[in-house]
Chains A and B, each alone.
Chain A
Amino acid sequence: MKNPSRYEIQTFEDGEIVVREGEETREMFVIKEGAIEVFRNVGGHEVRLAVLDRGNFFGEMSLLEGLPRSATARARGKTELVVLRPGTLLLRIRQDPTFAFELLQQMSHRVRQLNDQLVLKVARAEFGNRLARSAFMMTAASEYVGPAGGFESGDV
């Protein structure tokens, strides 16, 4: 019987689609090597949502909520991904609690970014560009807190 705690690695070439918007697959991925571009198709145009590099997760929304993929993910350069399926996620969290911590931290960071973007868009719609930029800067400055847990430290 296959050991469920062993990790599964998938490799993608540059430009290869990992998951497509609307798919009903449920895996979650951790970027081991390379990078992933996440985008949505809006009125026939690609709208880039994020570019994720090593150590980042994606696909966790489909795994946790069981809903269709909310965006398309495409490999940038040769990319290796650790694949986590619903059955192995709880086991992985139990074996490695820091993994759960990082998952929560990244999701918290994304929620914060989305809030900032939402504030900017609402302010722009209500007050126009100049005042919206001021409101955004004030919001961003007052809510910035250094990460409480593990964090990326640059320039070392």
Chain B
Amino acid sequence: MLHFAIDHDYSICINGDGVDFMQLSLQAMTGDLTPSLALFARVVRRGRRIYYTVGNHDIQLEHFLSDIGPMNVAPFLNLRSGEKRIRIEHGHTYDEMFLKYPRLYWLFTMIGRWSIIIHPRFYKFVHDLNHDIIAGVEYLQSGFKPRSERMKSVTGEFIEGERQCFREGAEMAGIRGFDAVVFGHTHLEGSIGLSSGVRYYNTGSWFGAPYCVAIDQGEIWFGPVSDLTTKGDPFPRKRPEQAAALG
């Protein structure tokens, strides 16, 4: 995706967890970061910018909330494109599990750390199991109501498998004068309309088939990163200095 952004003159927003302090060793991180930093430098040399919204796996970057030369590190991004206002943030601050049970959340994260060492597919298995466990807890807390019955009270669309707290978080953020809200964190990609008229996008996970959002002059494109490389720029008529890509 970085290569695509460089070739098509986009600015970039890395929407959290781009660096994993929780689950990766320093050796692995430096091995991954070094080529990425070189690509960041190429982005900047083209006169574009890099925005980094902090996630829960790189929450330590909150110590660097400021401009770092060509990179802005921020808790969220309020983007103005054309007539549209778009809110971009990782979404972990709306995660009820993350907020209410931080130690349990940390334990699952450490289990994930060891899973990655075994194999990324095993990590995905453990991550999906984590989702099932959380779903089980919600089932118990709801008084043994199945998900289909619980979701009957939810009006409108929802992303399959996503907990309601994220949709509610998108509603709370979006109603403050935004046309669209972009989250990550859940590892579940999707795009839905909210009751306030705001469009909610979730770009899912870096693992497997990652999704991204491309924005140009108020137009928003959402889809898999692979579509960018196979089908090309979704905004081919754009002027290079007026484009932004997010993922």
Query: Which A positions have Cβ atoms within 8 angstroms of B?
Result: 7, 9, 30-33, 53-56, 82, 92, 95-99, 101-102, 145-156
Q: Is B169 an interface residue (CB 8 A)?
A: yes
State A95–B109 Cα separation when bound (angstroms). Answer: 23
State A101–B51 Cα separation when bound (angstroms). Answer: 18
Q: Is B134 an interface residue (CB 8 A)?
A: no
Least CB separation from B176: chain A residue: A30
Interface residue from B72, B76, B242, B244 paired with A98 (Cβ < 8 Å): B76
The smallest beta-carbon distance between B108 and chain A, in angstroms, is 22
State A53–B85 Cα separation when bound (angstroms). Answer: 11
Q: Please state if A156 and B81 are interface contacts (CB–CB under 8 Å).
A: yes
Supplied contacts A7-B175, A96-B94, 6 more A-B pairs, CB within 8 Å: A55-B178, A56-B177, A98-B76, A98-B173, A151-B72, A153-B77
Q: Please state if A33 and B177 are interface contacts (CB–CB under 8 Å).
A: yes
The residues of B that contact A96 with a CB separation of less than 8 Å are 93-94, 169, 172-173
Q: Please state if B76 and A150 are interface contacts (CB–CB under 8 Å).
A: yes
Q: Is B78 an interface residue (CB 8 A)?
A: yes
Q: Is B215 an interface residue (CB 8 A)?
A: yes
Q: Please state if B80 and A153 are interface contacts (CB–CB under 8 Å).
A: yes
14 examples of A-B residue contacts, CB within 8 angstroms = A9-B175, A56-B177, A82-B176, A96-B93, A98-B89, A98-B173, A101-B75, A146-B67, A148-B74, A149-B75, A153-B80, A156-B11, A156-B80, A156-B244
Q: Is B213 an interface residue (CB 8 A)?
A: no
The residues of B that contact A147 with a CB separation of less than 8 Å are 74
What is the 8 Å Cβ interface bit string for chain B, positions 40-75, against chain A (1 contact, 0 not)? 000000000101000000000000011100001011
Question: Which parts of B148-173 form the interface with A (CB within 8 Å)?
Answer: 169, 172-173
Q: Please state if A156 and B79 are interface contacts (CB–CB under 8 Å).
A: yes
The smallest beta-carbon distance between A127 and chain B, in angstroms, is 33
The smallest beta-carbon distance between B95 and chain A, in angstroms, is 12
Least CB separation from B79: chain A residue: A153
What is the 8 Å Cβ interface bit string for chain B, positions 171-204, against chain A (1 contact, 0 not)? 0110111100000000000000000100000000
Query: With A149-B76, A153-B79 as given contacts, are A99 and B93 in contact (CB-CB < 8 Å)?
Result: no
The residues of A that contact B79 with a CB separation of less than 8 Å are 152-153, 156
Q: Please state if A151 and B80 are interface contacts (CB–CB under 8 Å).
A: no
State A101–B81 Cα separation when bound (angstroms). Answer: 22
The residues of A that contact B215 with a CB separation of less than 8 Å are 156
What is the 8 Å Cβ interface bit string for chain B, positions 107-150, against chain A (1 contact, 0 not)? 00000000000000000000000000000000000000000000
What is the 8 Å Cβ interface bit string for chain B, positions 198-222, against chain A (1 contact, 0 not)? 0000000000000000011000000
State A145–B89 Cα separation when bound (angstroms). Answer: 22
Q: Please state if A99 and B74 are interface contacts (CB–CB under 8 Å).
A: no
Interface residue from B78, B175, B244 paired with A150 (Cβ < 8 Å): B78
The smallest beta-carbon distance between B213 and chain A, in angstroms, is 12
The residues of B that contact A153 with a CB separation of less than 8 Å are 49, 51, 77-80
Q: Which of B72, B75, B177, B178 has the most CB of A within 10 A?
A: B177
Question: Which parts of B11-43 form the interface with A (CB within 8 Å)?
Answer: 11
Least CB separation from B217: chain A residue: A156
Q: Please state if B85 and A54 are interface contacts (CB–CB under 8 Å).
A: yes
The residues of B that contact A9 with a CB separation of less than 8 Å are 175
Query: With A153-B77, A156-B79 as given contacts, are A32 and B175 in contact (CB-CB < 8 Å)?
Result: yes
Q: Please state if B93 and A97 are interface contacts (CB–CB under 8 Å).
A: yes
Q: Which of A55, A97, A146, A154 has the most CB of B within 10 A?
A: A55
Interface residue from A97, A146, A156 paired with B72 (Cβ < 8 Å): A146
Q: Please state if A55 and B172 are interface contacts (CB–CB under 8 Å).
A: no
Least CB separation from A101: chain B residue: B75
The residues of A that contact B173 with a CB separation of less than 8 Å are 96, 98
Interface residue from A95, A152, A156 paired with B242 (Cβ < 8 Å): A156
